[in-house]
Amino acid sequence: MCNTFNKKFLDEAAKAQENTSSMPNTNKEFMSEAVKAALKGMANNEGGPFGCIIVKNGEIIGRGNNKVTSTNDPTAHAEITAIRDACRHLNDFQLEDCIIYTSCEPCPMCLGAIYWARPKKVYYGSNQQDAADIGFDDEFIYKEIPLPYEKRSIPFEQCARDIALEPFQKWSEKEDKIEY
Ligand SMILES: [Zn+2]
- Supply the residues annotated as catalytic: 79
The environment of the single-atom ion ligand 1, i.e. residues with CB closer than 5 A, is: 77, 107, 109-110
CA of 176 to the centre of ligand 1 (A): 33
User: pLDDT tens for residues 93-128?
Assistant: 999 999 999 999 999 999 999 999 999 999 999 999
Ligand 1 centroid–CA 144 distance in Å is 16
Q: What is the C-alpha separation between 109 and 83, in angstroms, rounded?
A: 13
Q: Is residue 101 within 8 Å of residue 53, measured between CB atoms?
A: yes
88 with 110: CB under 8 angstroms?
no
Summarize pLDDT for 12-30 with one digit per residue, the tens. Answer: 666 655 555 555 579 999 9
Tens of pLDDT, residue by residue over 142-155, are 899 999 999 999 99
How far is CA 180 from each of CA 31, 36, 70, 111, 123, rounded to the nearest angstrom? 29, 33, 31, 18, 24
Interacting residues of 165 by C-beta distance below 8 A, sequence separation 6+: none
Q: Can you count the helices (H) and strands (E) in the chain? A: 9, 4
Contact (Cβ atoms closer than 8 angstroms) between residue 43 and residue 59: no
Across all residues in the chain, what is the average pLDDT? Answer: 91
